[in-house]
Structure 1
Amino acid sequence: MNSLPKSKSVLNTLNSVLATQPKLTALPPLSMYIHFPWCEKKCPYCDFNSHQIKDGKQGFDEERYIKALITDLETELPRIWGRQVHSIFIGGGTPSLLSAHGMNELLSAVRARVNLEPDCEITMEANPGSVETEKFAGFAKAGINRVSLGIQSFQDTQLKALGRIHNGEEAKRAIAIALQYFKSVNLDLMFGLPNQSLETARSDIETALSFKTPHLSFYNLTLEPNTYFASFPPKLPSENEIDAIFEQNLNLLEAAGYRRYEVSAYAKKDQECKHNLNYWRFGDYIGIGAGAHGKISFPDKITRQVRERHPESYMQAMETKGNALIEAREIPAKDLPFEFMLNTLRLTDGVDTATFSERTGLPLNVVSKGLDKASKKGLLDSDPNKLKATEQGLRYLNNLQELFL
């Protein structure tokens, strides 16, 4: 009596599973992320994979690390045959601690092994405290064409509270030098800093705007787990004060011709960061270096990789085993909608609804319940051809993204 319904049930379940397996008709753009894990001083708010260089640069062996990076890249090549890389981002840590010679060696090795697009955007993060004119000239000659400077603030008292190694004048000098040598310059600024007022926040933005860089990042300081600030929190402005700072500075940025194109990113016309746009549009990226993450798509699956976090463990693994992977997995189909929405809903313009299927290989109807809930809550734009957060959705982004878990 029960055999027929049970068989139908199993068949329906199987068909449902098969129907939601990723089937990509085209592969997304491909980027590369290179992680440099050292810095001169660990900032108290930083939860990135960065390790303070000890006295005498103990643990920091540039030649050894670059060799490990090149080997790491070579292990990835079979997974990306025939694909072009359209952007490279060298993050950290403080990649500007590399020598110009080391950067040239690294990028020359990349160009010899990977097909780069002719106008490939190559970004390097830099600390204003480690900026030297001759070094920046060398980085530009090596192929860096975009620099992201971790300014955070121009106020000496704020910089001291944030544990930064530079002061306000050094920040200004670093910007001036960067503008001499690089096609594009981004300034990272924070708000909601310890004891920050509307006036000091306004001064920071106005100083940044005076340099007319094509791109600005404007982040709210958050107390992340496993940081010094999480254990010993500083006195931060109230939520109302932080909102007032954000609204004030948003108006200043827009008046100066910067468009907010992502939750924390602002750019002049056609000056958006290509690399980060690829992340937010659920593109692919090779991730090499200590603690680096990668995402690579295939016609029938999407995969993720994670490397050893500690630089010494990473280098030893590359030298002894030929890879430093601690995780290599296929993303389950049930997790793809959330991963996609986690990224794309950060974009103020959102993405076309067709992008969901293009990048996940899944039909849009797998997220229909989440879309319906988000729309009813006023968090998602009503345009049926767009997946786009409303202003309220951007303000309560975590709540919006959670609807797709």
Structure 2
Amino acid sequence: MHLPFCVRKCPYCSFYSFRASEEEMVLYLDALEVELAIWKDLCGRLPGVNTLYLGGGTPTVLPPRLWERLMSLLDGALDFGPCLEGTVEANPGSLSPDHLHIFKEWRINRLSVGVQSFDDHELSWLARPYDRHQAIEAIERSVSAGFAVSVDLLFGLYGQTLRKWHESVALALALGVSHLSTYQLTLEPGTPWGSSPPEGLPDGYPFYRWVQWYLEKKGFIQYEIASFSLPGKWCCHNLAYWHGGNVLGLGAGAWSYLEGLRFGNVNSYSSYMDSIAKRALPIAFRERLDDEKRAREAAVLALRTCWGISTRNFVRKYGLDYTSKILSLIGNFPEECLVVRKGRVALSKKGRRVANALWADII
């Protein structure tokens, strides 16, 4: 579920978000309730949920009393059954003790905190609306409250050194997080920095290579290209993406995948509200993947993970012809970029560092 509210727009962010009034937030929650009701009618029952991910934007911009309204409508519209994981994305500047209390009392057991850096100079350059102290305090409170906590960190920032990168990563571990997502700063089209890129950005390769080495030493598993966790603490929701599971996206700008059909909602608050007012699904894009494209995408997604491709399972799902074709392409990868064992093929640590170049041939 996409909650597209932010305090302000970061210059590198390409996700749909805006600064909303409380009235706009209330109306948006009303619209989400209608969208859920439409899906219930289509399914003939309450949609079942294995994992729930409430992302943004900055979901914690939503005040606690509106979270109570959101949770109530979700309870009435979804069949949670044995829901394994409920995650909320949060930013340090807006995550309050009241939020933590409400989350703990409901179905949320995991927080993904968009820290990006624990260095005040880097935070200021990124235009993040909080400082190092607030970031540390938010993590400490979340860990103390008993949540599984993930932290997002960025590398390749202006003026960033390996020493500064080490300090941010090491501090996150010292605060007790069980999951880290590390991303290189990307200058996306349509963003201020995409249009006018900052100068002097360092090469991200040594930062990524170093974090692979360091986190392995600390007992973390690189279970996905950008994701590291303690054993068993990986994000179950994200694994649904990498394993080609069905995902229902709700809200403006949300994306879904259902049995080979990919579709995305309108990327605009006003357009979303207009569609919902007509009791119509707010879908702006849809694509039906043919069998070969499904197989190729599934291979790339599986290669994002440490488990890679299970040959037996892949043949069962996509057939021998497509499996053979894809394995033949993978066989052209440099030997040092692959790990092949027990009927599986995956990327080595070196392979993950050059993954985009490797799987371009597959997709």
**Normalised by the size of structure 2, how large is the TM-score?**
0.92
- Counterparts of 1:6-405 in structure 2, within 5 Å, are 34-53=1-20, 57=21, 61-77=24-40, 78-79=42-43, 81=45, 84-239=48-203, 242-297=204-259, 302-357=260-315, 361-378=317-334, 379-383=337-341, 385-405=343-363
The alpha carbon displacement at 1:278 in A equals: 1.0
How far apart are 1:356 and its partner, in Å? 2.8
1:342-383 CA-partner distances (Å, limit 9, x unpaired):
32111022142233356xx42142142332132122244444
Shift of 1:222: 1.5
Are the equivalent residues in 1 in contact too, given 2:209–2:353 (CA < 8 A)?
no
> Structure 1 residues 326, 246: CA separation in 2 closer, same or farther (over 3 Å shift)?
closer
Residue-by-residue CA offset, 1:199-248 (whole Å, 9 max, x unaligned): 11111111111112111111111212211111222234443xx3332233
Indicate if the aligned counterparts of 1:214 and 1:271 stay in contact, CA closer than 8 A. Answer: yes
Aligned residue-pair number: 360
1:18-45 CA distance string (max 9 Å, x none) = xxxxxxxxxxxxxxxx001121111111
| d(CA) in 2 for partners of 1:329, 1:45 | 28
Q: How far apart, in 1, do the equivalents of 2:6 and 2:62 lie?
A: 10
RMSD: 2.1
Any conservation in 1 of the 2:329–2:362 contact (CA below 8 Å)? no
Contact in 2 for aligned 1:307/1:327 (Cα 8 Å): yes
Does the CA contact (< 8 Å) of 1:87 and 1:274 recur in 2?
Answer: yes
Alignment partners' CA distance in 1, 2:13 and 2:355 = 22
> Is the 8 Å Cα contact of residues 38 and 94 (structure 1) preserved in structure 2?
yes
Give CA-to-partner distance per residue, 1:379-402, whole Å, 9 cap, x none: 444447224223343122122222
In structure 2, how many angstroms separate the alpha carbons of the residues matched to 1:236 and 1:255? 31
Q: Residue 300 of structure 2 aligns to a residue in which SS? A: helix
Give 1 or 2 for the bigger CA radius of gyration.
1
Provide TM-score, normalisation by structure 1: 0.83
Unaligned segments of structure 2, at least 5 residues: none
- Judging changes above 3 Å, is the alpha-carbon distance between structure 1 residues 309 and 116 closer, same or farther for their aligned structure 2 residues? same
Higher relative contact order (CA 8 A, sep 6+): 1
8 Å contact kept, 1:344–1:351: yes
- Is the 1:357–1:363 contact (alpha carbons within 8 Å) kept by the matching residues of 2? yes
Distance 1:356 1:74 in 2: 35
After superposition, the Cα gap between the structure-2 partners of 1:308 and 1:263, relative to the gap in structure 1 and judged at 3 Å, is same
Is the Cα–Cα contact under 8 Å of residues 100 and 139 in structure 1 kept in the other structure? no
- Deviation of 1:260 after TM superposition, in Å, equals 0.9
Residue ranges of structure 1 left out of the alignment (5+ in a row): 1-33
The residue type paired with residue 118 of structure 1 is: P
User: In structure 2, the residue corresponding to 1:41 is in which secondary structure?
Assistant: coil
